[in-house]
Chains A and B, each alone.
Chain A
């Protein structure tokens, strides 16, 4: 496929006031696109848009609110003349690592609501434009789409769903000349990851994983990988790239890793502690 030229295109990025979303918007803008920076807080979105440059606008909207997302896309079309690329990036994590049993039901469903249904509502709002302009829908999944979600289940459940949504969409959009991509990031040095990793139980999760697995990449690298993926209309975008190989062998590796996790004494101790912390927090 020919290189997809971002120059002159219009892109919408959700969760773009900071982190991966901001970097994606900034780098898309650098390549000549107009960008809509969408975030929960209109003010933060506008501030981010100002930092990005002249062809950036800020929009405040909650991705879990379908009507707000339709209104946001309408605003993009009105102000920037259309919409070619939507990057469904907005996501949250639970406040700290906790088992599904220990987490409050509301918190579990809130993560799911933002991370999966928020992506779905972004997709629904953006697709009419994207199909009309043979554009691209990028959904941000995670290596948690295939890694075991122990201690982080709503995130893993949502990201597995997001991956499937992106794969299905790609086939369904092909006849229209439009496309969808799934982006998988490992640990990126964002506020989401820092907040989660600063918890005590997270420190222990780190102990359970080899260091190379936990090496964080910068939002800058994540955004660059994403933009490259858009230029190539890549079906899958992995940053760091070596996750591609883990994904390729997931069907063989996962049963082995899952089994090891089940019989590992350190993991068991960590799970007991996470549950104890949840009881302290009043969720157990």
Chain B
């Protein structure tokens, strides 16, 4: 569905003209695979030049080759501010500027467990990559993007909204990213530039498959099945996620949700969360799961 058909989902924001990606320069972090790759590929299809940034320069270059002639692979670590500044300088050197940055790079905690029993360095690392990494990406791209009336896209999550039990660093970082995107959008408005937050549920990516399906014989998926109603667990493809980001860019949307049901959950979050959180406090199934993962974490340490 990428490329040819131009869907006009929802309304065009504030009557702002459609943002045409043709001829623009875009940077996507974490773009060697998954949502980032799809976003870069689909922007390229719409005529943008894209910088495919990933931790591993070789993988970034390979992905860029698969995308096409106006794609350029860059190796950089989003947690390293100097590295991100150098990456943006290289992009500007190559393509003559930078209009769009998609701060997509993210990791999940390697261990599904409580904040109390998660190794401290794992907890901190998730926040470093997902939140500080997004900040460094925005920070490096802002001089160019704000001068050119460009855009920064942040990847929120349903974990920006829902309780982060057993995934606290992920939820903490995604709640922070949402606040960052909202603040930046207000601050960029006078410059004719903008920021967006795109919220995803479960996307079929390595991140989700690793943390839910593969690790510990799929304990993550089983636990989620006990906590979350089935209809909220339906996974979308990376292609759909990428298309959602591209659409958000074209509409300069303040926020986009995929699956769309999360828009309504977000709208009523202030009322729903206290009720859902309280139910979780008293839920025997969740208590059993917490005990199980904490016992497993204890064994891992021993």
- Bound Cα distance from A109 to B132, whole angstroms: 8
- Bound Cα distance from A260 to B281, whole angstroms: 37
Contact of B270 with A250 in the complex, beta carbons under 8 Å: yes
Give B269-280 as 1s and 0s: 1 = Cβ < 8 Å from A's Cβ atoms: 111011001101
Give A223-241 as 1s and 0s: 1 = Cβ < 8 Å from B's Cβ atoms: 0000000000001100000
Q: Is B149 an interface residue (CB 8 A)?
A: no
Do A150 and B168 contact each other (CB < 8 Å), given the known contacts A131-B116, A163-B175, A248-B271?
Answer: no
- Bound Cα distance from A128 to B115, whole angstroms: 11
B residues in contact with A249, CB < 8 Å: 270-271
Give B126-152 as 1s and 0s: 1 = Cβ < 8 Å from A's Cβ atoms: 010001100100110011001000000
A130 to chain B, nearest CB (A): 9
State the interface size on chain B (CB cutoff 8 A): 61
Contact of A164 with B278 in the complex, beta carbons under 8 Å: no
- Bound Cα distance from A255 to B266, whole angstroms: 10
- Bound Cα distance from A144 to B179, whole angstroms: 9
- Bound Cα distance from A206 to B189, whole angstroms: 20
Contact of B184 with A100 in the complex, beta carbons under 8 Å: yes
Give A263-284 as 1s and 0s: 1 = Cβ < 8 Å from B's Cβ atoms: 1000111011000000000000
Interface residues of B in 153-208 (CB under 8 A from A): 159, 163-168, 171-180, 182-187, 189-190
Contact of B135 with A108 in the complex, beta carbons under 8 Å: yes
Contact of B270 with A124 in the complex, beta carbons under 8 Å: no
Q: Is B47 an interface residue (CB 8 A)?
A: no
**Residue of A144, A175, A252, A263 with highest tally of chain B CB at under 10 A:** A175
In this complex, what residue of B is CB-closest to A99? B187
Contact of B182 with A100 in the complex, beta carbons under 8 Å: no
User: Which residue of B115, B176, B182 contacts A254 across the interface (Cβ within 8 Å)?
Assistant: B182
User: Which residue of A105, A109, A164, A262 contacts B185 across the interface (Cβ within 8 Å)?
Assistant: A262
Q: Is B267 an interface residue (CB 8 A)?
A: yes
B residues in contact with A159, CB < 8 Å: 179
In this complex, what residue of A is CB-closest to B164? A168
User: Which residue of A100, A105, A109, A164 contacts B172 across the interface (Cβ within 8 Å)?
Assistant: A164
User: Which residue of B171, B182, B187, B282 contacts A168 across the interface (Cβ within 8 Å)?
Assistant: B171
Contact of B115 with A172 in the complex, beta carbons under 8 Å: yes
Give A204-235 as 1s and 0s: 1 = Cβ < 8 Å from B's Cβ atoms: 00000000000000000000000000000001
Q: Is A117 an interface residue (CB 8 A)?
A: yes
Q: Is B240 an interface residue (CB 8 A)?
A: no
B residues in contact with A161, CB < 8 Å: 127, 131, 172-173, 175-176, 179
B39 to chain A, nearest CB (A): 23
Contact of A262 with B115 in the complex, beta carbons under 8 Å: no
Q: Is B291 an interface residue (CB 8 A)?
A: yes
Q: Is B290 an interface residue (CB 8 A)?
A: yes
Do A157 and B187 contact each other (CB < 8 Å), given the known contacts A174-B282, A254-B182?
Answer: no
Contact of B190 with A148 in the complex, beta carbons under 8 Å: no
Q: Is B254 an interface residue (CB 8 A)?
A: yes
B114 to chain A, nearest CB (A): 4
Q: Is A26 an interface residue (CB 8 A)?
A: no
Q: Is B9 an interface residue (CB 8 A)?
A: no
Contact of A172 with B116 in the complex, beta carbons under 8 Å: yes
B residues in contact with A168, CB < 8 Å: 115, 163-168, 171-172
Contact of B175 with A171 in the complex, beta carbons under 8 Å: no
A residues in contact with B186, CB < 8 Å: 148, 150, 258, 261-262, 267, 271
Q: Is B14 an interface residue (CB 8 A)?
A: yes
Contact of A123 with B115 in the complex, beta carbons under 8 Å: yes
Q: Is A202 an interface residue (CB 8 A)?
A: no
Q: Is A134 an interface residue (CB 8 A)?
A: no
Q: Is A138 an interface residue (CB 8 A)?
A: no
B122 to chain A, nearest CB (A): 12
Contact of A259 with B278 in the complex, beta carbons under 8 Å: no
A118 to chain B, nearest CB (A): 12
User: Which residue of A151, A158, A235, A255 contacts B255 across the interface (Cβ within 8 Å)?
Assistant: A255
- Bound Cα distance from A163 to B273, whole angstroms: 12
A residues in contact with B120, CB < 8 Å: 66, 124
Q: Is B213 an interface residue (CB 8 A)?
A: no
Contact of B274 with A236 in the complex, beta carbons under 8 Å: yes
Q: Is A116 an interface residue (CB 8 A)?
A: yes
What are 24 A-B contacts with C-beta separation under 8 Å? A66-B120, A100-B142, A109-B132, A116-B127, A123-B115, A149-B179, A157-B179, A161-B131, A161-B176, A164-B159, A164-B171, A168-B163, A168-B168, A171-B163, A171-B281, A172-B166, A235-B274, A235-B278, A235-B281, A249-B270, A252-B267, A258-B185, A262-B189, A262-B254
Known: A120-B124, A160-B176. 13 other contacts (CB 8 A): A101-B143, A161-B172, A168-B163, A171-B280, A172-B165, A247-B270, A251-B270, A254-B182, A255-B255, A258-B185, A259-B254, A268-B189, A271-B190
Interface residues in chain B, defined as those with a beta carbon under 8 Å from any beta carbon in chain A: 14, 81, 114-116, 120, 123-124, 127, 131-132, 135, 138-139, 142-143, 146, 159, 163-168, 171-180, 182-187, 189-190, 254-255, 266-271, 273-274, 277-278, 280-282, 286-287, 290-291
Interface residues in chain A, defined as those with a beta carbon under 8 Å from any beta carbon in chain B: 66, 99-101, 105, 108-109, 112, 116-117, 120, 123-124, 127-128, 131, 144-146, 148-153, 156-165, 167-175, 235-236, 247-252, 254-255, 258-259, 261-263, 267-269, 271-272
Closest 10 CB pairs of A and B: A149-B183, A268-B190, A175-B287, A150-B186, A168-B164, A160-B179, A164-B175, A250-B270, A153-B183, A262-B189
